[in-house]
Every structure is written in structure tokens, then in C-alpha cells.
Structure 1
């Protein structure tokens, strides 16, 4: 007898806690941790987010599953920002509409999912902001204004250009530091 995907997901997640376990379109995906470049990008983003997040009483979670419905795919963003008391489905699963920002750093194997699949699942589930940092294209893309099957707004900044996270953030990200580790020069 084949076990339901949700049961297999939980089993694999429990067996491999050091890996990122997701479901996508009926498939279980077990992803290794990021490269040093991937982690440097996340460090640079954390450096820019930590002050505003702490000042508002929010939290940054690096390894949490996003709940998008009972039969929906399960994603584990590279970073998730949540309010002081987010709505949880389980201890390791936060509701998408109870997040403040989800972040994906594009890898060679995640391009299509990061740009096309995930936004189509996040928007109808009320994820307010989805940030895609793409070191290959040297761009940062912000999906905002969720509603229906797609986001109402997509803002792109090339490496070195500022990217503003709108209200409640009101924060300009330095994409040069994200993509180059410095001022973009």
C-alpha cells in the first residue's frame, strides 16, 4: 500500500533533519544545504534585515515549512520572517498568510521552481512578500501584492540597485551586498 505524500513527507523530514525536505507537484525533494556562496548571500541579507526585524519584534527563521493548505505542496524557504505570534499548523510549519517575507536564493536546480512554481502557490495563500535572489542573473526580484493565482506586482533590481521592501518594511535592500558581498563595484 502506498502511503499518502504527507505521511512520506513527515517520515523523510524526521529521518533527515539536516536536509531541506519539500514536496512539489506530488514529488518529495530532499535538498542538501547551500554552498558557501549561497550562505554568504543569506548572511548579507540577514545583516540587512536583523535590525528592522528586531525593532518590530518579528523573528527570522532559517528552516521552517510553509503551510499552504492540506493538499498543497510544502516548501522550506531559505529564510522566513514571521510576526511575533505567527499562526502555526504544527511546530515546524507556519501558515503562509502568517508570514512577513519568504526568501529563496536561486540554485542551478531551483530556477524554475523559485521563479514560476512557488509564486503561483504563495500568492493565492496570502504570502505578502516573496524575495528571489538570483546570483546567476545578478538580480533580486520581489513578488508583492498577492491575490489570485499570481502576484499583482513584481519588482526587479539588478545587482547594485536598491530594492525597496514596501510597508510594513519600508526598507531599501542593498543588492550589491547581496550579490557581490560588497557595494557592487
Structure 2
């Protein structure tokens, strides 16, 4: 897709648009719950790790074999530095993906395999619809050895990062979908 075509395209409201280096255009639906959940996770990253902690939300991170990814939230090593315009997957300590109605299979299956394969130390799946957080640790070549599920409303969840810091997510503060 040319730059001119992109500039004159009206993308549907409520979607985030990603443009891949390979020319792919990816439309991802966003809900209020999705946006609020990312904001809540980012708030807890700031409270836990400090205002200047290296975090990224919906920002491409370079993975090998052109498997670039723009996770909902990533916490990076303090000494991480960009290679060109992006950070490397090797700088990532934690990735959090927030489940939307259309992304459940991707978040639970595809991303679990991908992030494990690339040795991301902690992968969180935050599911507002199931009201739970799944914490994956101990990455392997095809996923993770450990997965622990924590229900919303069960207090503070401390998560140890590979650099010795602790990210604490308050499960009482995660937003739930509003009833239709």
C-alpha cells in the first residue's frame, strides 16, 4: 500500500491500525475495556518501577525472522537501548497482552508460543471477559513451563522481573466490561 493510498484511506472507527514492514496492514479493534486495562497496567508499572521505567505500549519490538510484535505493554530492561528506531526482544522483561473479543486465540495460543520461543521471561494475559490474569514464566522453545491464573479482585500480584525488580499489579483495580 502506497503512502498516498494510506493518507487517503478512512479506517474504521474503534480500530488501531498497524503497518508492517512487509506491507501488511493490520486492523485491531479496541474497546473501552481494552484501553482502560492498558492504562491501569501502565499506571502500576509506574508505581512499581518508577516514572522513568522503560515501557512501551503498542510499539513495535524487533524479534528474529521478521516476527516483529507491538504488544499491548512491554516492560524493558533499564539499560535497554534502541537499535535503530526499535528495541530488541532481548531487552524485554515482561509482555502483557489484553484480550479483546477478537484476539483471544492469538493472545492465548499464538503469542504464548511466540513469546516463549523467544525467551520473554514473563508473559501476562489479562482477560477482562474472564476476569483473570494468566502469568506465564519459564519460557521454552514452544511456550512456557509455568502458567498461573489469578482472578480479578484478589489483591496485589507481585511479579518478579529478571533484573531483580518487582512489578506489582493490583488485581482489584483492573476494569471489567460493562454490561450491555
TM bracket (short chain): 0.7 to 0.9
Shift of 1:59: 1.1
3-state DSSP of counterpart to 2:143: coil
**Kept in 1: contact 2:36–2:175 (CA 8 A):** no
CA contact (8 A) 1:20 1:33 kept: no
**1:31 aligns to what SS in structure 2?**
strand
**Which of 163, 174, 177 is 1:178 aligned to?**
174
Aligned to 1:64: 59
Unaligned runs of 5+ in 1: 1-7
What per-residue deviation string (whole Å, max 9, x for no partner) do you get for residues 137-162 of structure 1?
11111111112212121111011124
Kindly provide the CA deviation profile for residues 50-94 of structure 1, in whole angstroms up to 9, marking residues without a partner as x. 022227x6311113212220x242221111111233254430x32
Aligned length: 164
| Alignment TM-score, normalising by the size of structure 1 | 0.74
Cα distance in 1 for residues equivalent to 2:30 and 2:37: 10
RMSD: 2.8
Q: Distance in 2 between matches of 1:135 and 1:90?
A: 35
Correspondence list, 1:1-185, <5 A: 15=6, 19-21=17-19, 28=24, 30-32=26-28, 34-54=30-50, 58-69=53-64, 71-91=65-85, 93-161=86-154, 162-167=156-161, 168-180=164-176
Structure 2 residue matching 1:178: 3-state secondary structure: coil
Q: Which has the higher contact order (CA 8 A, sep 6+)?
A: 2
Answer yes or no: is the 8 Å Cα contact 1:156–1:163 preserved in 2. Answer: no
TM-score scaled by structure 2? 0.76
Do the aligned residues in 2 keep the contact of 1:68 with 1:122 (CA within 8 Å)?
A: no
From the two aligned structures, give the one with the greater helix fraction: 1
